[in-house]
Copies of this chain bind each other. A is one copy, B any other.
Amino acid sequence: MSHDTLAFCCEVLLEPPSPSNKTADADRFREGLEKMGLTGVEIPLDIMRRLPAELRRNHFALEVAIGINRLPRLSDCQGLEGLGLTVLEIGKRDIFGLAIDIGSTNMECSLVDLQTGDKVARAGAENPQAKFGVDVLTRAQMSMTGEYDTLYLALLEGLNGLIGKVCDKHCIPADQIIAFTVAGNTIMSHFAVGLDVTNIPLTPYVPAVNAPLLCRASEIGLTGNRNALVYVFPNSGSYVGGDIISGILYSGLHREEEPALFIDVGTNVEITLGCRDWIMTGAGAAGPALEGGVAAIGKKAEKGTVTRVRFDGAGKKMDLEVMGDTEPRGVCGSGMIDLISGLFSANIIDRRGRLVDSAEGVTEKDGSKVFMLYKSDTRELYLTETEIQNFLLSKAAMFSFLYVFVRSVGLTFSDIRKVYISGALGCGIDPESAINIGMLPDIPRDRFIPIGNSSIGGAEMVLLDRKLLCEVKEIAARITYREMNEDGELMNVLQGAMFLPHTEPGILKGEK
């Protein structure tokens, strides 16, 4: 690996002290680094305290981990080489970076070997704050009534648990992690480093900080090397978080010549439209259906979850793809899209989302019509009409957001050359199913690019190339936020989008 990573290793070979060379240890060490082209490297006090003994134990040939000691300003970005560096650790050891995505509901991390560039392990967990309130704004409001510390400590404990998990997976001690990159929405990023969130839910919705942060693991209580760097992605106001900025970086939208869409579906739907000249982001609540939060049948991706549903040509026979070798226990977002699409194609549900009385699989439960998805001696899995309506509301909201958003800059869907799909949908969505139900626009299929968890993808990229710190700043500076829920046109489009696929097919094709 090169020295472009956020933190890197090298070996410093020094001449031992002698009567003719009495230079002090730290000064000698700094000179050695300078001879390697690493000028002005800061040596923190705790490292300087250990330096004399480590130098002698290693016969003046000392391995050292080095990282950046401050973030570039936009004006620095031409000459990043001039950025300050600092010693993070001394002595022989492997070094790792950890990319962390903190979602409102779920957290995920990716362990990266900073010497080989390999992504060696991943781990995920529920965000422990979720049990205090599904909505992040609720959590910010709780902070106003003195419950900040409870939420903050819950998240910190959760993050440290996650770090422990991923280190165990790869069998490394946590102090080999010498760099963290953290991406999350604005409120999660604030909680992660202990910043005040109480002004975010209050007009005019001002975060404590937008700029990216650089601090040390020991400052925020994160398990890892005590000197480990922690880079927190910037946000662009209260509504566009570091997760979106990291995702944009990962998608490459900010380098496109022609307008591209970046859709991130998590607890909210976040839509970004742009290219190398401009970037516009908006967000709206699409309901929990798309993340698998539909009552009773909904389930996030884990053992027993139906992630895909395939129908044979005539729509008579269903094939369920279930995680783990087990009975199906619920359906996640991608499975729901397939399911609704298949049921609609097979005429088991009609254009308004009602179950057709005589259709195969439609039966009655507790006095209501349901579709029986799976039945064994011990388990029944069925879909109610209410669940279908909830799902249609989410799909309608998502489509309407997309439509209004694209239109607001004078474009139509046919102008969009690439559609990056990230988040819960990005994991396994079949664009054909989504288009069939009118959730995504009916444009050439090869324009859809599922990119999985793009937030963690961008965080991994920054670990491996610190030059991207400038690119991140440029993305953040280029973003404009468009308030979506205040849009009058939205409600009109939403009405039509509640139907399968839509009341006006021309809208789906980008003809208007």
A positions within 8 Å CB-CB of B:
17-19, 21-27, 30, 40, 42, 45-46, 48-53, 56, 70, 73, 84, 193-196, 198-199, 203-211, 213, 215, 219-220, 235, 237-238
Contact = CB atoms under 8 A, between A and B. Distances in A.
B52 A198 contact: yes
A211 B25 CA distance: 10
B210 A48 contact: no
Contact of A26 (B21, B26, B50, B208): B208
The dominant DSSP class at the A interface is: loop
A51 B193 contact: no
Contacts of A237: 22, 24
A208 B19 contact: no
13 contacts: A17-B206, A24-B206, A24-B208, A25-B199, A26-B209, A26-B210, A26-B211, A30-B211, A45-B220, A48-B208, A50-B196, A51-B208, A70-B84
A23 B206 contact: yes
A53 B196 contact: yes
Contacts of A195: 48-49, 52
A215 B86 CA distance: 14
A469 to B, nearest CB: 15
Nearest to A43: B209
Given A196-B49, A199-B52, A25 B70 contact: no
Contacts of A30: 211
Contacts of A213: 45, 48
A70 B19 CA distance: 31
A17 B203 CA distance: 9
> Which of A27, A51, A56, A198: most chain B Cβ within 10 A?
A27
Contact of A196 (B52, B207, B219): B52
A194 B45 contact: yes
A198 to B, nearest CB: 7
A209 B24 contact: yes
A125 to B, nearest CB: 25
B24 A203 contact: no
Contacts of A48: 195, 208-209, 213
Contacts of A219: 45-46
A205 B18 CA distance: 9
Nearest to A45: B215
A205 B22 contact: yes
Given A45-B219, A193-B45, A195-B48, A19 B209 contact: no
